[in-house]
Each structure stands twice: as structure tokens, then as C-alpha cells.
């Protein structure tokens, strides 16, 4: 080849030829590389996180992550990839649905080709993120088009019944909040609920394999008390099919309301008759709250019980308390309607000694109330204004949104279970709660939750500090008859202010929580309480002094709202 030709004409011809040659060389290299990739490295269809990266064709996911199927000479690895033993017991004629798994792979676990029922589904786009399923804000009051959810494709159901469902959960991914992982759970649940053979108690057999390094299967989908065996990396379930059906009927995330309160723009009372017969018919249900570490919320709990009864609810009221509440206060709480149960408070092992949230994990005791089928937990700084009984129709965890992808733990639907309790306790040390409180903790454990309208746990804060926000919220706080189901009194509690005005106005960093109409609503409920209960809302002398100090500070600062003049 002549790269350095003589004359300028020659040069031009030569360089053209060169360009063509280089192009051809590159082209053939790419074609070769592409073919090589296709033929030689099937594993490259999957990205590093173990998710399928090839749109539309990922019936068969990567084999066991972390180094192939059976590591020779490593007994541990052998055991963890062995077949779940119930498969053998099923016998030769049994049909096994395979979710996210190749037939060849299933053969290694003793599922004969003839018995295998491959279940295909289109994997969600890798661009779909958790926050798309759990957006911070949704148009829940249908001011515009109303809320909607992205689609999570579920498998086409196989023909005929299957005796068991086997699923491989992705090993990598984004930990607990992984859309691909949720999809595999829902796909397995869908096949199990709709095609699984039910035993006499309506249960279906499901086995999920979760890699040792990955989180365990999502107990939001497959309840931990339905685990019948743990074998290596396999979790074997006898799952109640009806319960799975219920979950599949809900929106895929908090992108839509689990409990719609609105009929296209009109604010109506929730019509529970639209629901099928309650899942919990004939079972015990209760409202419950928790007091621990101090008596600071006794008045709040008294007012809460009173407010629930005012809405006409006859559900049981249960209050968990530790030894910090004195006898006289306990009698008042009982008189207000609470059935009392003493608990041992639970420390957050990550909290610093003496901090305000050191024992906030006491709320985990709610799961030990196993004589109840379902609970609606309500924080003691919440006032209920409209009947919340319809919440008992919704599953664990249904709650209102807080911010980002998380729920507010002030009002939650809970399904007590000793098994869930143990699972929560086991995670106390390793879960990092973003705020050190129970809310941060529960949001790491129950990442898949169901959205209740914000009106069931309406936060008393004017976060944008605009008159528009203040006027909309203040109208709702004052509405009579009430439009809100419950107000969550953030900031300084109403019983720690005088009735004349909201003393949050007088404290620099609490001013966004100030609302005189919300304050007045609390006091009007208070005033309707039995007169033997009202004294439990009196301020201590120390608090009175502190209040006056705060007022004087506001006066010195000449705060423009002028509440300090009162």
C-alpha cells in the first residue's frame, strides 16, 4: 500500500482508498464483534445488576449470580442451589410454573421438562424507577386528569392448573426498592393466585430463590408467616391465594390511591359498599396508639379516643404504654375509652442515648397484637374528624404519603403477626432509619406500600410559606362539617399552647407548623370532652413559663404576625 504517494493528485486518490479500507476494516470488526457477542457471551444480555437489559426477550434470566450454578468443591454453594425438597414429593405428574427461569435450569432442580411450564413476561424497562411507582405527589383529588400508574407487565397465564410456582428473584439490582425485583414477585403472585392449585385452606405452593447477598423476598407480597420451609436460598410458601389476589388488585405503587375518595372531582364520603365483603369479616379490628418514655402525649391520646368515638366508630380502642405513664394518667386513658396494655419499650440500637427518638421502635410492638386481625394505628398527636372505619378494608401497609417515596407512619393499616414482628426486630441493627425514628425504619422494611388519601392524615404544616397554600389548608382545617378525616398536629402540640392562638407562631423554627384554624379545631374537640378528662390537658407550670419566654422572644423580634400581642 502506498501511503506516501508522489504528486498531489496521487495523494488524493490514495487517501480516498485509504478511507474506504479503514471503513471496511472497522465495519468488519464491528460485525465480527457483534456476532461474537451474540454467540459467545449470552450472559452479556444482562447488565451488571443482574437485570435483563434486552428489551422484550428476557424469559430466561442469568443463571445463579456470583459464579455459576454449582461451584465444585464448595458444599455450601451446592446446598444453596439444590432443589426445594417439596418438588420431589409432588411426584412425576406435577406441573411447575417457572418464573424468571430457564427450563434447562429447572431441570437441575429436578423439574422434568415435561412438567415445566415456562411463564413469559415482558420485563419492565430498566429506565422505570421506584419513584415512578411511588411519586411524591399525585393528583389524588382529580383536579386535572387524576393519577395514573406506569404499567408493570405481568405474565400471560399458562393454560391449566399448576401444582407449584418456582421463581428466581434477581440477585443484584437496587436492593429493596427495585422495580424489576417487584415485577418478579408480582409475576409469581399472579400465576400462583390465578393458576395455582389450592389446598383445602385456599393456599398455593410457591418457592422463591433469593441470593444470599440480596434482600429476602418482599414480605409485603409474600407474608412471612406463610413460609413453610427455608432450604438454602429457597423460601417455600403456602400462600393464601385470596390474599395475593387482593394485592394484585391494588395499584402497583403509591402512584394511585388504594382507597379512592373522589368521584371525579366531587368530594364524597367513602362508599364502603363498593368494596367486596370485608376480608376481615367476623374478625377483631381495633384502632391503636402507643405512648412511651414520657407522659407528654397523654392529653393527645385522651383527645384522640374522644375524637374517634365522636365519628361514630364502635371499633375497639387499644393503647400500648410503658411504665413511664403513672396510675392516674392510665385511669384517665381508660376513662377516655382505651383498653390498656403494658409493653416493654423498644430501643433503636442506632439511636444515641437520651435522644428524643431513642425508643421510637416501641411502635413495633403493634405487630404482637395477634389477637387482632387488623389494626389502624394512629399517632397520639392526631385528631380524627371523620369516620376512618373504611381503612380496615385496606391491607398492610396502607398509609398517606410523606415525601419522596416514603409514607407517613402517623396513620397506618397494620396486620399483626409474630413472624413480622420477629422480622422487624431482626432488622433493627442493620436498617438505617433516615430520621432515626420508626417512620424511617418502617419505610425501609415496607418499601411497597399503598396510598391512602392525604385527607386521612393531613399534616398541619404550611411548608411553602405562601398565602395560597395557607388559605387552602386553613379552610380545610376549619371546615364544619369536617372535610378532613384527621389532622396530624406537627410542631408544638395544641395542648402545650394556650387556647387563644397557635403558639408555633412564636418559635422561629416552628412557624411553618402554625395554623390558628387547626388550633381552634383541636380546642373545640377538647371542649366537648367529658369534664373529668379535660384536666389531663392542662399545662405544667414549667411549660407555662417556657411559653411566656417564647412569647417574649417573639415580641423582641417584632414578628410580623403579631400573635405575641395576645
* 183 versus 348: smaller Cβ distance to ligand NAG: 348
Other beta carbons within 10 angstroms of residue 126's beta carbon come to 16
Query: Which member of 65, 220, 285, 438 binds ligand NAG (CB under 6 A)?
Result: 438
Q: How far is it, in rounded angstroms, from Cα 267 to Cα 265?
A: 7
In the complex, minimum distance from the CB of residue 188 to ligand NAG, in angstroms, rounded to a whole number: 23
The neighbour count for residue 147, using CB atoms within 10 Å, is 19
Q: How many CB atoms lie within 10 A of CB 463?
A: 11
Based on the shown chain and the rule CB under 6 A, indicate whether residue 437 belongs to the binding site for ligand NAG. yes
3-state secondary structure 418-447: HHHHHHHHHCCCCCCCCCCCHHHHHHHHCC
Q: Which of 51, 183, 190, 293 binds ligand NAG (CB under 6 A)?
A: 293
Minimum CB separation from ligand NAG for residue 462, in Å? 8
| Residue 34 or 356 with smaller CB distance to ligand NAG | 356
User: Which of the ranges 236-244, 311-319, 429-437, 522-530 carries the binding residues for ligand NAG, by CB under 6 A?
Assistant: 429-437
Query: Does residue number 370 form part of the binding site for ligand NAG (CB under 6 A)?
Result: yes
Contact between 49 and ligand NAG per CB under 6 A: no
Query: 44 or 467, CB closer to ligand NAG?
Result: 467
Positions 484 through 523 that interact with ligand NAG (CB under 6 A): 511-512
Compute the Cα dihedral for 293, 294, 298, 304 and give only its sign.
Answer: negative
Cβ atoms within 10 A of the Cβ of 142, count?
18
Should residue 324 be labelled a site residue for ligand NAG when binding is judged by CB under 6 A? no
418 interacts with ligand NAG by CB under 6 A:
yes
Whether residue 220 contacts residue 181, with contact meaning beta carbons closer than 8 Å, is answered with: no
CB of 23 to ligand NAG, least distance (A): 48
Q: Which residue is nearest to ligand NAG (CB)?
A: 437
Minimum distance, C-beta of residue 534 to ligand NAG, in the bound complex (Å)? 22
Cβ at position 363, least distance to ligand NAG in Å: 9
Q: Rule CB under 6 A: is residue 76 a binding residue for ligand NAG?
A: yes
Q: Which residues contact 71 (CB under 8 A, 6 or more apart)?
A: 77, 78
C-alpha distances in angstroms, 264 versus 138, 139, 149, 257, 272? 15, 11, 17, 13, 17
Segment lying near ligand NAG (by CB under 6 A), choices 20-28, 145-153, 249-257, 437-445: 437-445
- Residues in the interface with ligand NAG (CB under 6 A) total 19
For residues 170 and 131, is the Cβ–Cβ distance under 8 A? no
Q: Is 360 in the site for ligand NAG (CB under 6 A)?
A: yes
Count of alpha carbons within 13 angstroms of residue 544, beta-carbon side: 5
Q: Minimum distance between the CB of residue 465 and ligand NAG, rounded to whole angstroms?
A: 4
Find the binder of ligand NAG among 307, 348, 408, 439 (CB under 6 A): 439
Which of 58, 59, 77, 442 binds ligand NAG (CB under 6 A)? It is: 77
| Backbone torsions φ then ψ of 389, nearest 5 degrees | -55, -35
Q: Report in angstroms how near the CB of residue 31 gets to ligand NAG at its nearest.
A: 39
Selection from 455, 450, 452, 328 nearest residue 382 by Cα: 455
For residue 75, count CB atoms less than 10 angstroms from its CB and return exposed for 0-12, middle for 13-18, buried for 19 or more. Answer: exposed
Q: Which residues bind ligand NAG (CB under 6 A)?
A: 74, 76-77, 80, 293, 356-357, 360, 368, 370, 418, 435-439, 465, 511-512
Amino acid at each position: 500500500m502506498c501511503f506516501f504517494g508522489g504528486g498531489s493528485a496521487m495523494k488524493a486518490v490514495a487517501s480516498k482508498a485509504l478511507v474506504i479500507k479503514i471503513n471496511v476494516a472497522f465495519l468488519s470488526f464491528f460485525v465480527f464483534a457483534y456476532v461474537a457477542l451474540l454467540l459467545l457471551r449470552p450472559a452479556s444480555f444482562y447488565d451488571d445488576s443482574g437485570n435483563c437489559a434486552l428489551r422484550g426477550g428476557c424469559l430466561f434470566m442469568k443463571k445463579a449470580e456470583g459464579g455459576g450454578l454449582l461451584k465444585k468443591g464448595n458444599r455450601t454453594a451446592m446446598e444453596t442451589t439444590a432443589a426445594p425438597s417439596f418438588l420431589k414429593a409432588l411426584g412425576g405428574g406435577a406441573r411447575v410454573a417457572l418464573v424468571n427461569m430457564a427450563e434447562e435450569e429447572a431441570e437441575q432442580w429436578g423439574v422434568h421438562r415435561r412438567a415445566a411450564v415456562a411463564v413469559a413476561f415482558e420485563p419492565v424497562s430498566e429506565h422505570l424507577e421506584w419513584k415512578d411507582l411511588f411519586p411524591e405527589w399525585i393528583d389524588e383529588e382529580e383536579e386535572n386528569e387524576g393519577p395514573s400508574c406506569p404499567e408493570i407487565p405481568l405474565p400471560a397465564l399458562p393454560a391449566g392448573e399448576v401444582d407449584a410456582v418456582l421463581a428466581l428473584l434477581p440477585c443484584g439490582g437496587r436492593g429493596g426498592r427495585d422495580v424489576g425485583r417487584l415485577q418478579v414477585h408480582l409475576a409469581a403472585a399472579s400465576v400462583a393466585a390465578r393458576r395455582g392449585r389450592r389446598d383445602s385452606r385456599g393456599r398455593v405452593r410457591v418457592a422463591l430463590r433469593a441470593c444470599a447477598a440480596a434482600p429476602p423476598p418482599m414480605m409485603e407480597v409474600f407474608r412471612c408467616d406463610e413460609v413453610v420451609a427455608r432450604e438454602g436460598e429457597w423460601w417455600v410458601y403456602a400462600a393464601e391465594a385470596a390474599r395475593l389476589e387482593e394485592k394484585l388488585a391494588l395499584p402497583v405503587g403509591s402512584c394511585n390511591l388504594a382507597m379512592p375518595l373522589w368521584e371525579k372531582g366531587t368530594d364524597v364520603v367513602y362508599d364502603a359498599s363498593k368494596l367486596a365483603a370485608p376480608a376481615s369479616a367476623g374478625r377483631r379490628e381495633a384502632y391503636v396508639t402507643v405512648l412511651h418514655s414520657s407522659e407528654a402525649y397523654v392529653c393527645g391520646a385522651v383527645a384522640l379516643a374522644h375524637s374517634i368515638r365522636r365519628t361514630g366508630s364502635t371499633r375497639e380502642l387499644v393503647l400500648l404504654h410503658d411504665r413511664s405513664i403513672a396510675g392516674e394518667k392510665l385511669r384517665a386513658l381508660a376513662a377516655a375509652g382505651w383498653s390498656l396494655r403494658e409493653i416493654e419499650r423498644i430501643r433503636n440500637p442506632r439511636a444515641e442515648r437520651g435522644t428524643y427518638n431513642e425508643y421510637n421502635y416501641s411502635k413495633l410492638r403493634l405487630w404482637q397484637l395477634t389477637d387482632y386481625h387488623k389494626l389502624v394505628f394512629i399517632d397520639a398527636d392526631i385528631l380524627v374528624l371523620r369516620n376512618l372505619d373504611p381503612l380496615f378494608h385496606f391491607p398492610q401497609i396502607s398509609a398517606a404519603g410523606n415525601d419522596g417515596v416514603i409514607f407517613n407512619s402517623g396513620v397506618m393499616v397494620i396486620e399483626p403477626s409474630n413472624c413480622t414482628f420477629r422480622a422487624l426486630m431482626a432488622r433493627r441493627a442493620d436498617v438505617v432509619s433516615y430520621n432515626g425514628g420508626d417512620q424511617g425504619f418502617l419505610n425501609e422494611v415496607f418499601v411497597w406500600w399503598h396510598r391512602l388519601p392525604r385527607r386521612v392524615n393531613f399534616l398541619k404544616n404550611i411548608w411553602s410559606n405562601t398565602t395560597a397554600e395557607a388559605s387552602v389548608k386553613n379552610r380545610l382545617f376549619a371546615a364544619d362539617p369536617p372535610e378532613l378525616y384527621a389532622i396530624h398536629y406537627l410542631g408544638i402540640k395544641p395542648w402545650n399552647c394556650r387556647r387563644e392562638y397557635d403558639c408555633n407562631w412564636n418559635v422561629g423554627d416552628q412557624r411553618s407548623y402554625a395554623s390558628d384554624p387547626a388550633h381552634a379545631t383541636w380546642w373545640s374537640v377538647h371542649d366537648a370532652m367529658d369534664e373529668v378528662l379535660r384536666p389531663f390537658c392542662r399545662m405544667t407550670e414549667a411549660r407555662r413559663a417556657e411559653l411566656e419566654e417564647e412569647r417574649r422572644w417573639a415580641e423582641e423580634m417584632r414578628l410580623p404576625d403579631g400573635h405575641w400581642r395576645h
